[in-house]
Structure 1
Amino acid sequence: MKNQDFTIQFTVDQTPSSVLEAINNVRGWWSENIKGDTDQLHSIFDYHYQDVHEATFQIMELSEQKVRWHVLKNRFKFLEDQHEWQDSDIIFDIQAKNGGTLITFTHKELTPAYSCYDLCKDAWTHYIQGSLKQLITTGTGEPTPKEDATIQKEPEPVSSSTNIDIHHRLRIDAPIETVYKALTTVTGLKGWWTPSVISEREDPQTGDFIQFSFGSKQENEIRIQVATLHHYDLVKWNVIDAHPGWADTSIRFELEANIKGTMLNFSHTHWKEMSDEFASCNYVWALFLKSLKQLCETGKGRPFPDFDK
């Protein structure tokens, strides 16, 4: 039985020429770290995400009917077999239909036989069905932001026998982009932690404040400040106002790309004492992190008040 290539289809109201323009704007929907021309026939461009994934493509076909990239070289940090993706083709078929356009994306030879299949399938779905479609229909996509060499990722605090911290580590079978979005948008946070989230914007930035409520009592409110956002691998909050046990603590989500998706290292640090509240919070965080995992993997989490059911 012949393995089928990975394919995604979607339709938009825009014209084929508008679709082609968006596809060629690879920095607008995939990554702002692209180097090289992406809108010229036979041009070569490079893609990278940190040191996790690097690839080089050549544009072999370019028209209002079809765009085809050929993978010249590829490397995944977490794979031993670096032949995956090598010499494969990435194709965008563009077809005028019913006054709009049908887009068929195909990654040739990307089949379940690949070790990276699940991760690559989910990542392509995120960028094609999500970011590219959004760029075509609204003019704004959600590419990986440009890496700033002047901004250094904050190192993880050194643990010692005197620290009173909560730590959890879990694998989430979803792309790192999906997990990061669940941690950094109001919609995402409502989907796994609590539906009562107040922020001045949908995607709070460094320095912004977010308020979370867990029930009607004021002592169940938590106000945090976003201390660090490092795409796509670190989110850190400082607790500004909460019940006494949480005062002056920090909450950290560190993400690592994994062959199955994402490894999450979670910590809630700087507790004052090993109290009953600390023990209860440790358990409750485990349940909420399970809710986060379910949201990212299935599209539906178990936020408050259903997290322990």
Structure 2
Amino acid sequence: MSHSIYFNFTIRSDKESVYKAVSEPKHLVNWWPLKCSGTPQVGQEYNFNFTDDYDWYAKVESCKQDDYIHYKMVKSDDDWNPTTFGFKLKEKEDGTCLDFFHKDWPKRNDHFKHSSFCWAMLLKGLKDYLEKGAVIPFKDRN
């Protein structure tokens, strides 16, 4: 049995801007990793660097510009390696609904629980980045 994390919420921003924020390295570094590289195309590899000890890689499993992107972890922590996470966007009258998932966790252990909490905080940072232009310094993101 695997476990999953889900969130959905509205961001007062257009779909194109939200998609860029979850798929382009120059925007991802403003709310999630310290350093990042990658291209939002199926099969392309992303590097999510948090520190020298947490230098992780994922491949784009599927994507459609301004609609969704899903990342499959390929080199990371043992708990994260079997997982896939992604963002699906839906236009709404008052902005963009972001449906987030992080699935296929092998155990509902302390790391799963900590990651669930961290995703909630990070996604709040994404919302504030898009709505207010706020960038939380990397050292303050966890």
Please state which band the TM-score falls in when normalised by the shorter chain.
over 0.9
* 1:304 equivalent in alignment to 2:138: yes
Q: Deviations over 1:132-180 (max 9, x none)?
A: xxxxxxxxxxxxxxxxxxxxxxxxxxxxxx5410111111111111100
Query: C-alpha distance in 1, partners of 2:56/2:134?
Result: 23
TM-score (norm 2): 0.92
What letter corresponds to residue 298 of structure 1 in structure 2?
K
Among residues 113, 119, 123, which one is paired with 1:279 in the alignment?
A: 113
Aligned residues: 142
Aligned to 2:21: 182
Among residues 213, 233, 245, which one is paired with 2:49 in the alignment?
A: 213
4+ residue stretches of structure 1 with deviation over 3 A?
Answer: none
Among residues 188, 191, 196, which one is paired with 2:30 in the alignment?
A: 191
Q: Does the 8 Å contact 1:178/1:296 carry over to 2?
A: yes
Q: Does the 8 Å contact 2:82/2:106 carry over to 1?
A: no
Matches within 5 A, 1:54-133: none
Give 1:304 deviation, angstroms: 2.7
* 1:295 equivalent in alignment to 2:129: yes
Judged with a 3 Å threshold, the aligned counterparts in structure 2 of structure 1 residues 206 and 242 are, in CA distance, closer, same or farther, namely same
- 2:139 partner SS: coil
Among residues 79, 97, 101, which one is paired with 1:245 in the alignment?
A: 79
Query: C-alpha distance in 2, partners of 1:287/1:253?
Result: 16
Gaps of 5+ in 1: 1-161
Aligned to 1:101: none
Query: C-alpha distance in 2, partners of 1:290/1:177?
Result: 18
Q: Does the 8 Å contact 1:193/1:303 carry over to 2?
A: no
Determine what percentage of the aligned residue pairs are the same residue.
28
Query: C-alpha distance in 1, partners of 2:119/2:41?
Result: 23
TM-score (norm 1): 0.44
Give 1:303 deviation, angstroms: 5.6
Give 1:301 deviation, angstroms: 2.8
Give 1:227 deviation, angstroms: 1.2
Query: C-alpha distance in 2, partners of 1:221/1:247?
Result: 13
Query: C-alpha distance in 1, partners of 2:62/2:28?
Result: 16
* 1:167 equivalent in alignment to 2:6: yes
Matches within 5 A, 1:141-152: none
- 1:281 partner SS: helix
Q: Does the 8 Å contact 1:195/1:303 carry over to 2?
A: no
- 1:256 partner SS: strand
Query: C-alpha distance in 1, partners of 2:65/2:40?
Result: 13
* 1:259 equivalent in alignment to 2:99: no
Q: Deviations over 1:218-269 (max 9, x none)?
A: xx12100011111322110000010111012100111111111011111100
**Higher RCO, Cα 8 Å, sep 6+:** 2
- 1:246 partner SS: coil
Larger Rg: 1
Over the aligned positions, Cα root-mean-square deviation in angstroms equals 1.5
Gaps of 5+ in 2: none
Larger strand proportion of the pair: 2
- 1:244 partner SS: coil
Q: Which moved more, 1:253-262 or 1:297-306?
A: 297-306
Query: C-alpha distance in 1, partners of 2:119/2:35?
Result: 17
Query: C-alpha distance in 1, partners of 2:40/2:98?
Result: 20
